[in-house]
Amino acid sequence: MQTKAHSLIASVALLFLLQAPATAAPPELLSYQGVLLDANGVAVADGLYNLRFRLFPQATMGTDVFEQALNVEVRKGLYNVVLSNAGSNDLGDVTSQNPQLFMEVTILADGVTILSDIVFSPRQQLTSVPYALSAPVPPPPPPPPPAPACYTNWGQSSCATPFEQVVTGHLGGLMLYSNTNLGAAVPRAHPECVSDSALAVPNEYWPTYYNRLFRGTLNGQGVDEVATDCSVCCTGGCFVAVGATSCPVGYQAVVSGRLGGVEAVVVTPVGKPVCVSDTAGVVTAYPALANMSRLHRYGPAVSGAANGMQGVENRCLQCCKVN
């Protein structure tokens, strides 16, 4: 066996990279398959052989950049091994730092049938496939940012993450004053979150009016009185700041106007009022209808008692996020 062992030859049958799912990092493993034949081209006897695998950046001479020895089972001359980072160096580093690599296989002496190491030549050049080790799989693209959006948090002065509180205010809206309904100012439009920064109109505060905010009970057979606090919460985009004189930091006023709507000064406004630009051309003015389209902001809720109503300047701003 000693003489025969010295005349063994090794030929590379296949060299490939163990694949991983596309979403995973590439495994730093190399699968190497070879065949051991004697001088007559006959497969060596089945059994275990101690093989050493070394990678060199040159076809001859030089210093190896990777080494790993394995006890390999050979059947009908064929063997398969998986080289890993258990070797002398990191496989990923080796393949990324060397433009070409050559494999050298050695049968290590066992002191019985193989009395000295047998180095096979020529070294086998690795194909381009193993270099996939050094090409990291790109991470999946980050999820797209949420589309800019705004909502109103009625009854609370806070916003959910990641929304920004762009308006802090109290329940209110465009009102038509009436001497009916217990002398209260009767809402004639969709309620609005009127900014706490809205400028009060002198002599327009009625502490005895009932303008409270209620929430229906779960079974719908009753109501709960809740605080009249409100917040407008945004992740960008545009919103209407009712009663405000300026937009928050990071937002630009693209429209400056006053609340209005279809037939707002004559009958109940149709739907939600809109912020009508100050520069809109006036067709006909009705100055005599002084109390028909005032803006009011409700006072803080006081359980079981009137919570008051404050007249504020009819202002509005369309605020949009500045990129």
Instruction: Check: CB of residue 54 under 8 Å from CB of residue 104.
Output: yes
**Can you give the pTM of this predicted structure?**
0.53
- Residue 139: the pLDDT is 81
Whether 8 and 46 map to the same domain: the answer is yes
List, as one string, the DSSP characters of 40-53. TSPBPPSEEEEEEE
- Residue 10: the pLDDT is 42
Q: Which structural domain range is residue 90 located in?
A: 2-134
Does 63 fall in a domain?
Answer: yes
- Residue 24: the pLDDT is 45
- Residue 17: the pLDDT is 42
User: pLDDT 10s digit of each residue in the chain, 323 long?
Assistant: 433 333 344 444 334 343 334 444 455 777 888 887 776 778 888 888 999 999 999 999 999 999 999 999 999 888 888 888 765 677 778 877 888 889 898 888 888 877 888 888 788 888 755 444 555 567 888 887 778 899 999 999 999 998 999 999 988 887 654 434 444 444 455 788 999 999 988 878 777 776 778 888 888 888 888 888 899 999 999 999 999 999 999 999 999 999 887 764 444 445 678 899 999 998 887 766 555 567 888 876 566 666 778 889 999 999 999 97
- Residue 301: the pLDDT is 56
Sign of the CA dihedral with 79 first, then 82, 88, and 89 last: positive
How many domains is the chain built from?
Answer: 2
Whether 116 and 20 map to the same domain: the answer is yes
- Residue 248: the pLDDT is 94
Instruction: Check: CB of residue 57 under 8 Å from CB of residue 94.
Output: no
- Residue 267: the pLDDT is 46
Whether 194 and 218 map to the same domain: the answer is yes
Give residue-wise pLDDT tens across range 75-90. Answer: 988 888 888 876 567 7
Q: How far is the C-alpha of 169 from the C-alpha of 156, rounded, in Å?
A: 9
The domain that holds 95 is classified in CATH as 2.60.40.2060
Q: How far is the C-alpha of 104 from the C-alpha of 100, rounded, in Å?
A: 13
Upper half-sphere CA count for residue 219 (Cβ side, 13 Å): 2
Q: Angle 214-258-174 (CA atoms, 0-180°, nearest 5)?
A: 25
H helix or E strand, kind and range, residue 9: strand 9-17
Domain end point (choices 77, 106, 134): 134
Give residue-wise pLDDT tens across range 308-323. Answer: 788 899 999 999 999 7
What are phi and psi for residue 215, nearest 5 degrees? Answer: -125, 130
